[in-house]
Structure 1
């Protein structure tokens, strides 16, 4: 089982690159039992979408 620190690293990295199979499996297993990391993953996804939307809106001005 990976640590929360490693899980948050992988959650951040998956936004930039595809995770390797072993990384995906380790992360999924961790997220099944860790609500904090699951919440972190949701939050960074929302922040990424908000950032993209902001950039789109700035381009329209």
Structure 2
């Protein structure tokens, strides 16, 4: 099943809060291989998460 960008963005966000199931992880990885926009969104969220953690540590 092909994953839409909307579904992919939801999984990207969910993956920050909880472990994804194997099926979710595989679907998302396949989508990210093909979709540069979602890949960029995933990278941006990861950077925001890192910045928030650093800010929480007073860095």
Same fold (TM over 0.5): yes
Q: Distance in 1 between matches of 2:31 and 2:55?
A: 32
The whole-number CA distance in structure 2 between the counterparts of 1:44 and 1:31 is 14
Output one character per residue of 1:14-59: Cα deviation in whole Å (capped at 9) or x when no partner: 011000111011001100100000000000000000001011107x
Normalised to the residue count of structure 1, the TM-score between the two structures is: 0.91
Confirm or deny that 1:28 pairs with 2:9.
no
Unmatched segments (≥5 aa) in structure 2? none
Root-mean-square deviation (CA), in Å? 1.0
Unaligned runs of 5+ in 1: none
Which protein is bigger by CA-based radius of gyration? Answer: 1
1:1-61 residue pairs with structure 2 within 5 A?
Answer: 1-57=2-58
Runs of 4 or more consecutive aligned structure 1 residues displaced over 3 Å after TM superposition = none
